Structure 1
Amino acid sequence: MLNTPYRSPVLGPAPTQEPTAVATPAQGEVLAALSADGPATAAELGARTGQHPNTVREHLDALVDLGLAARDRDAPAGRGRPAYRYAALPHPSEGPAYRALIAALVEHFVDGSGRVAPGHSPASTITERATLLGRGVPVPESVAELARASGGAGGASSATSARRTVAQAMATVMAGQGFRTEELPRGRGLRLVNCPLVGVAVRHGEVVCGFHQGMLQAVVERSGGDPDSVHLEPFAEPGACLVRIGPATSS
């Protein structure tokens, strides 16, 4: 569950000080089409987006360089060299590439004036779609296995231990994406004190925070827990967003 609001000039985490790879709006449009419709050649994507195949190919090659897409030769069909078929890598493990993906998603969902683009309203729909994308973030099996093995059974202390282990698993995954976290008492969740995308989240939290909510749900689910037990509270307090493990808090 994602608890709003997103925007606050005072509350929330500090930005992560790290260079960020950025996809252009045109590259973001191609990436969004590739993510939504599956692997395709430049010609196929050109037909989908209305762009010339050569232009699309340039964008695709740039996305490959950013770590947001992969390419491989298509299956042979007659004479000549097979075309490249491109596939989106929607959840790169390296922070800069991951942040470029989020920037591309924002460009896809939001128009140049900063409003939700036609066809993607209301904002709740964007949050749901971004959350679904976040649910596909890879969770290292070593992290998930440790959390499952430490779950225990019975007693308040076991419940606390299980929450703490899941919180540590979330912290490990979030650190790989450029976040700095602090654990809440008794394993109740995390404080996100540095965010690599806080500047974008202030403007477009429905995309950014929705994706992060899905990413956290993926960690809990792969750790053997209930994904609906994790609740992201964007800009919850001075200096941090909050991630709570347990029943949602009323706002």
Structure 2
Amino acid sequence: MATKPSKTDRALASVTRMAVLDALRRANEPMTVQQIAEELGLHPNTIRFHLGRLAQADLVREDQADPTGPGRPRMVYTAAPATKGAEQETAYRLLAEILASYLAETSPSPAAVATAAGQEWGRYLVERPAPFAKMTREEAIDRVLAMLAQLGFEPELDGGRLLLRACPFRAVADRRPDVTCSVHLGLMRGALAEMGAPVEIVNLQPFSAPHPCVANLSESDASHAEAGPART
């Protein structure tokens, strides 16, 4: 089964939440929702939603501003100081960056190697069907969506496409998209192959903010799809 991402990973998987947190870290004093919204060019309600998710992950602190007149005091927000958990998250990201950069610089085909590695993990992470069971397109996609959701991708089915609205490896993907996105492509392809699914991933179009990554689906002949070797 897929390892569930930490609350910090889930919070930082969103491009918008990363932008909100960066704005608070740059600020010299606490910011209001309106100030953040104006700086990022977003609606205040959008900012409130993402601040709530950041606060749940202990990445942002919410306080009441000093009263300036009648009425309810305004709420202001600051970036929380780094914690030991955050330091560990940084260490894991550094490790991922080291491995991705090493692969990119030393392999003649880093994307192909990364895709192959992702396929092996996709086979391992997905829930495999029972022996001789025929997997429908809908069942296979549901299982891939569940796997991706556990990993923090916030996936959504949109007709013949899978939309990945968040990236739990965004910090590395920004610098090494050839490796990181290829791993993600391999995860989905490996999972579908393991299930002998009558559908396959044609390609993965990497993110271009504010748009999500898009994995394009295509029907495949299930009779030619071979499940992976039996697990022991």
TM-score scaled by length of structure 2: 0.49
Higher relative contact order (CA 8 A, sep 6+): 1
Larger Rg: 2
TM-score scaled by length of structure 1: 0.45
